[in-house]
Amino acid sequence: MVQANYNSGNAALARLDQTHQQNLKAIINQLASRGLVFSGDTGYQTVQEDRNYGNTKYDAEQSALADILGYRQSALQQQQQLHQSVSDALENAYQNALNHPELYGYGDVTGYQPDASGNYQYGTAQQVAAALAAMGHTPDQRGF
């Protein structure tokens, strides 16, 4: 597909190559019209055109690489944001389970009663873990 795109003249490099070839022909035609095809000016102008072509090609390649790097960085940033969102959701779910164990099938945690507003107030993380363990809850590798 890449070769077909180049052959059709749609690729940026194909357009650069075509312009370069046209510029080289224009140099020869211009010098031939004045009878100077075999002069030193032919070599000088050809070298200048080759240098311009090389610079333009290099700039196009650098631009393409910068675009690729930008796409990769954007994808990585989105992946990190998704990971953070998942972590936040898991943490919220864990906190909800701690604050409202009755909603998750744990019933009352022995020794911890709801406060005046109906919210469960717990002590340290170790106390919460011990209370949940007493109800048969076993945390996974992440502690949830």
CA distances from 113 to 89, 117, 122, 126, 132 (A): 26, 11, 9, 17, 14
Please, which residues have CB within 8 angstroms of residue 120's CB and are 6 or more apart in sequence?
A: 98, 99, 100, 101, 109, 112, 113, 114
| Identity of residue 116 | A
Q: Which range, 10-19, 87-96, 130-139, is most confident?
A: 10-19
Model confidence at 104, pLDDT cuts 50, 70, 90, reads low
Q: For the range 32-40, what are the long-range contacts, defined as Cβ-Cβ under 8 Å and sequence gap of 24 or more?
A: none
CB 109 within 8 A of CB 131: yes
Judged by average pLDDT, the poorest of 48-62, 70-84, 90-104 is 90-104
pLDDT at 66: 95
> pLDDT exceeding 70 applies to what percent of the chain?
71
Q: Output the DSSP codes for 113-125.
A: -B-TTS-B----H
Q: What's the rounded Cα separation, in Å, for the pair 19 and 13?
A: 10
DSSP class of 11: S
Res. 46: pLDDT tops 60: yes
